Amino acid sequence: MISLQWLDSASSAAFPAVETTLDEPEGLLAAGGDLSTERLVRAYKEGIFPWYSAGEPILWWSPDPRFVLFPEQIKISRSLSKNIRNNHFEIRMDTAFEQVISHCGKQPRKDQPGTWITNEMRQAYIDMHHKGHAHCVECWNGDELVGGLYGMHTGQIFCGESMFSRESNASKIALVYLCQFLQHHHFKIIDSQVYTEHLERLGAVMISRNEYIETLHQPHKVDMPENWSELFSLYLKEKHK
């Protein structure tokens, strides 16, 4: 019988091979360790991510199949397209990361009484944002942040972690802009990690973990700078010429 592998407390400790996950398709791989930027970056580069609830040890996952969205294949409904054309929101990137992740942690979710964005997780991704690894897209209505999403990028993949809406379609619009921005910069996949009906309606599909890992290991065509906010502003200027 295969037992769950516990990670050494040292941030440099290696993860087990993703093929050794205990249960497919969920893909529980290991437990323990820490949420240092060093360990998190290594995890994402190997197709692994943390997901656990308060009071549990840190749990590490690599599901097979993987639920992903190809940026060019996002499904935009007529009503959503109309919302985007009406230009109701101002879209920004990386100007309010801490607010975005805080709102994501408070977003009510169907069949989920609590949140997996613990204080420890929140601080870990804020640290990664400060070091240029994690990014967010924001929807603003005047001075109010009304929707957005955040995630982590590695290679040609953007790993979407969570999203929130305080006004209708705000998070969807943020996702559309993210897809267009990532497609412009030759990203191949937005990783949604696990299945949700919401993202399936927007075009997300299942692919094998092998296909995901293969894409993950391909070199990116574009050397992305740490400052995505300026890059996004330049993209918007080009888009609206």
CB 117 within 8 Å of CB 103? no
pLDDT value at residue 221: 82
- DSSP strands (E only) in the chain: 5-7, 28-32, 49-50, 59-61, 66-69, 90-93, 134-141, 144-154, 157-165, 189-193, 205-207
pLDDT value at residue 233: 95
- Give the separation between CA 144 and CA 123, rounded to whole angstroms: 23
pLDDT value at residue 1: 42
> Is the torsion defined by CA of 96, 98, 101, 104 positive or negative?
negative
Taking only the tens place, the pLDDT of each residue in 127-179 is: 999 999 999 999 999 999 999 999 999 999 999 999 999 999 999 999 999 99
Dihedral (Cα; 73, 63, 61, 5), 10-degree rounding: -160
What is 5-65's CATH topology? Alpha-Beta Plaits (3.30.70)
CB neighbours of residue 232 within 10 Å: 22
CATH of 67-239, one of 3.40.630.70, 3.90.1150.10, 3.40.630.30, 3.30.930.10: 3.40.630.70
In the chain, what are the domain boundaries?
A: 5-65, 67-239
State the pTM of this model.
Answer: 0.93
CB 39 within 8 Å of CB 15? no
Whether residue 57 is preceded by a cis peptide bond, meaning omega within 30 degrees of 0, is no
Taking only the tens place, the pLDDT of each residue in 56-109 is: 999 999 999 999 999 999 999 999 998 888 878 999 999 999 999 999 998 876
Taking only the tens place, the pLDDT of each residue in 172-228 is: 999 999 999 999 999 999 999 989 999 999 999 999 999 999 999 998 888 888 889
